[in-house]
């Protein structure tokens, strides 16, 4: 499985630092503490892959992981919001970069939004989904920490999220249950990502 070979490539905080725009990439978004790093680590079967994205100062960068042996297949970790407040002008710069990335990046084939199953579809999640869908890109919602809920409550939460996504985005956004702890849903998530990356 190519995903388990994922390795850190670079962190970009300006458009000039992005890898050439000729390949296939899937971006991961999630509010801080949603469980995005744990989900990335579980999907790539690595313990510390996404740790680099959490380094202070890396919170306004796009972190690229490459999937050898390809040199043009990437997972891109977008910073979670909710870290220490950043100065206004930096925030504006970052918003502009992110906005431009979503609008223009040809290599971007899909967006994964990682959400805590107990707190789904917050404003940040909706903003990210909106970016993707308005570009005509597919998105996939990973409802993680499912292990925190009973089976019944998991099913109810999934149905509610699917209903809300359907109302807002039609069939552009799919959703699944996940747990970085129990590894529930890892194979399902991999299939979605591999499909987008044409692996
Ligand atoms: P990130 O900030 O979105 O990257 O979140 P992390 O992956 O670092 O997780 C935030 C916290 O939630 C950590 O304490 C994790 O141990 C915990 N966590 C993450 N995923 C799960 C999960 O699937 N189940 C449970 N029970 N806890 C989780």
Read off the pLDDT of residues 22-34 as tens digits, 9 standing for 90 and up. 999 999 999 989 9
Q: What is the mean pLDDT of residues 52-77?
A: 86
Rounded to an integer, what distance in angstroms lies between the CA atom of residue 158 and that of residue 177?
Answer: 7
Assigned token pair, 150: 């009973």
- Higher-scoring residue by pLDDT: 98, 179: 179
Name, in order, each residue with C-beta under 8 angstroms of 124's C-beta and a sequence gap of 6 or more: 29, 31, 81
Judge contact between 149 and 157, C-beta under 8 A: yes
Q: Is the CB of 148 under 6 A from ligand 1?
A: yes
Can you give the pLDDT at residue 5? Answer: 96
Query: What residue owns the CA closest to ligand 1's atom 11?
Result: 33
Q: What is the mean pLDDT of residues 106-130?
A: 96
Q: Is this model's pTM higher than 0.90 or not?
A: yes
User: How many CB atoms are closer than 10 A to CB 88?
Assistant: 8
Can you give the pLDDT at residue 82? Answer: 56
DSSP helix/strand/coil, 152: helix
For the CA of 182, the nearest atom of ligand 1: 23
Judge contact between 32 and 82, C-beta under 8 A: yes
Q: Are strands 24-30 and 108-116 parallel, antiparallel or unpaired?
A: parallel
User: How many CB atoms are closer than 10 A to CB 123?
Assistant: 9
Q: What is the mean pLDDT of residues 81-108?
A: 81
Q: Which domains are delineated in the chain? A: 2-197 (3.40.50.300)
User: How many CB atoms are closer than 10 A to CB 26?
Assistant: 25
Q: Is the CB of 32 under 6 A from ligand 1?
A: yes
- From 30-34, 50-54, 81-85, 108-112, the region with the lowest mean pLDDT: 81-85
Can you give the pLDDT at residue 84? Answer: 47
Judge contact between 80 and 34, C-beta under 8 A: yes
């Amino acid at each position: 499985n190519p995903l388990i070979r994922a390795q850190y490539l670079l962190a970009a905080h300006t458009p000039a630092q992005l890898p050439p725009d000729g390949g296939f990439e899937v971006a991961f978004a999630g509010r801080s503490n949603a469980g995005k790093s744990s989900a990335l680590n579980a999907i790539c079967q690595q313990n510390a892959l996404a740790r680099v994205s959490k380094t202070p100062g890396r919170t306004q960068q796009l972190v690229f992981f490459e999937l050898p042996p390809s040199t043009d297949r990437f997972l891109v970790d977008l910073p979670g919001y909710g870290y220490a407040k950043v100065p206004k002008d930096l925030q504006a710069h970052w918003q502009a970069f992110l906005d431009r990335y979503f609008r223009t990046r040809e290599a971007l084939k899909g967006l994964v939004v990682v959400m805590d199953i107990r707190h789904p579809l917050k404003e940040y999640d909706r903003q990210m989904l909106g970016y993707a869908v308005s570009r005509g890109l597919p998105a996939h919602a990973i409802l993680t920490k499912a292990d925190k809920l009973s089976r019944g409550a998991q099913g109810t939460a999934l149905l509610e999220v699917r209903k809300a996504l359907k109302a807002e985005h039609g069939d552009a956004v799919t959703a699944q249950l996940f747990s970085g702890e129990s590894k529930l849903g890892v194979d399902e998530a991999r299939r979605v990502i591999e499909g987008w990356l044409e692996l």
